[in-house]
Amino acid sequence: MAKSKVKAKKRASGNARGTSPRRVRAILEKLDEAFPAATCALEHKNPFQLLVATILSAQCTDVRVNQVARTLFQKYPSPEAFAYANPRELQQDIRPTGFFRNKTKSIVGASKKIVEEFGRQVPRTMDELLTLPGVARKTANVVLGTAYGVASGIVVDTHVQRLAGRLDLSRNSDPKKIEQDLMRVIPQEKWILFSHQLIWHGRRVCQARKPRCAECKLERLCYSKDKTI
């Protein structure tokens, strides 16, 4: 087979060459050193509030979501309050987070299902969570990992997506495939913390436009073309 065809095949498979157990262990150690206490930045008092906040966080900063959520959870203090809210009013209440019409549909739909089919409790399994309107694997992983401590997968948001590529842990661009790649190489007991650590690293150091490689603890392990040193 011609060299170019072999290369194309490797790319298509999504195989990253940076996934040797030794290198992955070193990355995890450096992340532990840099962000030992990384956790979810969305403020919440219970799994239901975390679910709503996570839906609101799509295409919006956590700071903005927290600002909106503080008053929102006072006005709508229960799943029933969201389930039977006036959609137009709710749209205005969450408007600053963007995409407010779709988010309203998701929040009202998910709340109704939680009230009417899940006994007011946010479900604890991936399969059940995925039946809620507006909930895909990313949101389900956030809720299961942070609210219930269940390691069902790895949260792949925009930061994790970018860093999985820069750290050569995945060569896929589809979040579902990236998650599968990461789940294959990261030990399951690290899935929850690893998700938070990568998100923190993406926000604070390995930023999209100008990664701060000079202050990055993973710099010696990184051979990304985006490196700035």
Active site residues: 138, 157
* Segment near ligand SF4 (CB under 6 A); pick from 59-67, 111-119, 188-196, 211-219: 211-219
Q: Does 211 bind ligand SF4 (CB under 6 A)?
A: yes
Q: Does 30 bind ligand SF4 (CB under 6 A)?
A: no
Q: Which is nearer to ligand SF4, 70 or 212 (CB)?
A: 212
Q: Which is nearer to ligand SF4, 18 or 175 (CB)?
A: 18
* Segment near ligand SF4 (CB under 6 A); pick from 40-48, 98-106, 148-156, 215-223: 215-223
Q: Which is nearer to ligand SF4, 134 or 165 (CB)?
A: 165
Q: Does 132 bind ligand SF4 (CB under 6 A)?
A: no
Q: Which is nearer to ligand SF4, 161 or 224 (CB)?
A: 224
Minimum distance between the CB of residue 16 and ligand SF4, rounded to whole angstroms?
14
Q: Does 159 bind ligand SF4 (CB under 6 A)?
A: no
3-state secondary structure the chain: CCHHHHHHHHHHHCCCCCCCHHHHHHHHHHHHHHCCCCCCCCCCCCHHHHHHHHHHCCCCCHHHHHHHHHHHHHHCCCHHHHHCCCHHHHHHHHHHHCCHHHHHHHHHHHHHHHHHHCCCCCCCCHHHHCCCCCCCHHHHHHHHHHHHCCCCCCCCCHHHHHHHHHCCCCCCCCHHHHHHHHHHHCCHHHHHHHHHHHHHHHHHCCCCCCCCHHHCCCHHHCCCCCCCC
How many residues form the binding site for ligand SF4 (CB under 6 A)? Answer: 14
* Segment near ligand SF4 (CB under 6 A); pick from 95-103, 140-148, 184-192, 206-214: 206-214
Q: How far apart are CA 197 and CA 192, in angstroms?
A: 9
Q: Which is nearer to ligand SF4, 139 or 224 (CB)?
A: 224
List of residues contacting ligand SF4 (CB under 6 A): 166-167, 205-206, 211-213, 216, 218-219, 222, 224, 226-227
